Structure 1
Amino acid sequence: MSDGLIVAICGDSGAGKSTTTGLLREEGFAPYSLSAFLRDEAEAAIDTPTREQVQLHGKNQQLKHGNHYYADVLIQKTDLMEQRKAVIDGLRNLDELNHLRKTAQEKGLKLVLLALVLDTESRFQRVRGRARAGDPAELERFRKDDMRSNGADGNFQNNAELIASADVRIENNGDLDTLRSNLRAALEQAGAMDERQDSV
């Protein structure tokens, strides 16, 4: 068995990434967020940026520094690779995944990519309910943002490729208890848990 476990979470907006991160945090997984670095940068440049503006900021940074930029920032500016149990929210593309996976392997850590999936309209209702500044208020704009997130604007961000590459998937269409149960099953499926680990 590896010396530690990193669970990287991917999924479209509103699929439940933050909620799943919270569940793993309750079980001792140290939380990290690539999207937090991106959003902090965008907010420093633009007061209350929209989702589209955050995406554009990320694209411009990746044009300058490479598609793996935010993964490298996370590795360099945090103690992620020193943790035995960690969860990362907000992966944007396969280059970030590969950079994280390579670094984790070098450190003797196992990285599992977990995808959360949910239909568009259900995700939109969740996004409207959370009322985060900059989130789209109209379904059509939400769909357009989704298209950019899934590679319509190039591979700066491509949730579709990440989801297709996931080690395990969760259809997150139930309540919190269902998500908790499905999360445990997904990690067991990936070989990320054994009898020595507590229930998630």
Structure 2
Amino acid sequence: MSDGLIIAVCGDSGAGKSTTTGLLRDEGFAPYSLSAFLRQEAEAAIDTPTREQVQSHGKNQQERHGNHYYAEVLIAKTDLMAQRRAVIDGLRNLDELDHLRRVARDKGLRLVLLALVLDTESRFQRVQGRARAGDPAELERFRKDDARANGGDGVFQNNAELIAAADVRIENTGDLDTLRGNLRTVLERAGAMGERQGSA
């Protein structure tokens, strides 16, 4: 069994996916962003798209090409599956997860799905602090965007299903030292799991 490991990070907006990806990069994991392809496409079509417009663009693409479309693009356009340690930010649905798991397994890699969770109000405050173009400025709009991202607008995106399917969940309160410690625990457990699989 290969010791290659992919950590796929999921969670609602503002849960800390980018921060977590950065911390894992510091631990030697090559970073990849599945959602970056979606945002790049949306920005090419719409100057400074809102979160809703990015979601709508992704829905249209996935209706044309299948729900696993962005996972397929990520694999085709990067060297992800050639890495021994990698982290992916931005999964949107279970079809993407299944596609990544299947290809990783065929390459002898393990994929661990890590979910970051935090209450809505705290995530909203975090989003306000990052001041990313297109982020909602009102809590009610943020809640509506969350509802769409959790399956309210079809199966093309469902963070709630991904979080429920996660191998590991971390409550990310925003304390970097705590998050870093939790991630190292996840990596230790993943390494131990790999050792058991390798000796089976």
Same fold per superposition (TM over 0.5): yes
- Ranges of 4+ aligned residues in structure 1 off by more than 2 Å: 186-195
Q: How does 1:54-65 map to 2 (within 5 A)?
A: 54-65=54-65
Secondary structure at the aligned position of 1:154 is classed as: coil
Spell out, residue by residue over 1:22-52, the C-alpha distance to the aligned partner (whole angstroms, 9 max, x if none).
0011111000001100000000000000000
| 2:117 alignment partner in structure 1 | 117
**Equivalent residue number for residue 186 of structure 2:** 186
| Number of the residue aligned with 1:25 | 25
Amino acid at match of 2:46: I
**Deviation for aligned residue 1:21:** 0.1
Indicate if the aligned counterparts of 1:7 and 1:113 stay in contact, CA closer than 8 A: yes
- Alpha carbons 2:34, 2:70 under 8 Å: kept: yes
Aligned CA RMSD, in angstroms, stands at 1.4
CA distance in 1, matches of 2:39, 2:62: 14
Contact 1:167/1:190, CA 8 A, preserved across alignment: no
- Please give the per-residue CA displacement for 1:31-90, whole angstroms capped at 9, x wherever unaligned: 000110000000000000000000000000000000000000000000000000000000
1:2, CA displacement in angstroms?
Answer: 2.4
String of CA shifts for 1:138-189, please: whole Å, max 9, x gaps: 0000000000000001110000000000000000014100100111122333
Identity of aligned residues (%): 85
Q: Distance in 2 between matches of 1:101 and 1:66?
A: 16
TM-score, normalised relative to structure 1: 0.94
What is the alpha-carbon distance in structure 1 between the residues aligned to residue 192 and residue 132 of structure 2?
Answer: 32
Contact 1:149 1:159 in 2 (8 A): yes
- Distance, in Å, in 1 between the alignment partners of 2:145 and 2:174 is 24
Q: Name the stretch that deviates more: 46-55 or 174-183.
A: 174-183
Q: Give the unaligned 5+ runs of structure 1.
A: 196-200
Q: 1:110-165, CA deviations, whole angstroms, 9 ceiling, x for partnerless residues?
A: 00000000000000000000000000000000000000000001110000000000
Contact 2:3 2:194 in 1 (8 A): no
Write the distance in 2 (CA, Å) between the matches of 1:160 and 1:181: 25
Q: 1:198 corresponds to which residue?
A: none
- TM-score scaled to structure 2, two decimals? 0.94
AA aligned to 1:111 is L
The one-letter code of the counterpart of 2:124 is F
State the AA in 2 paired with 1:131. Answer: A
Cα distance in 2 between the residues matched to 1:164 and 1:52: 23
Moved more, 181-190 or 138-147: 181-190
* Alignment of 1:136 onto 2:133: no
- Verify the 8 A CA contact 1:170 1:186 in the aligned structure 2: no
Per the alignment, in what secondary structure is the counterpart of residue 145 of structure 1? helix
- What secondary structure is seen at the aligned counterpart in 2 of 1:7? strand
Q: How many residues align?
A: 195
* Structure in which a larger fraction of residues adopt helix: 2
Partner of 2:102: 102
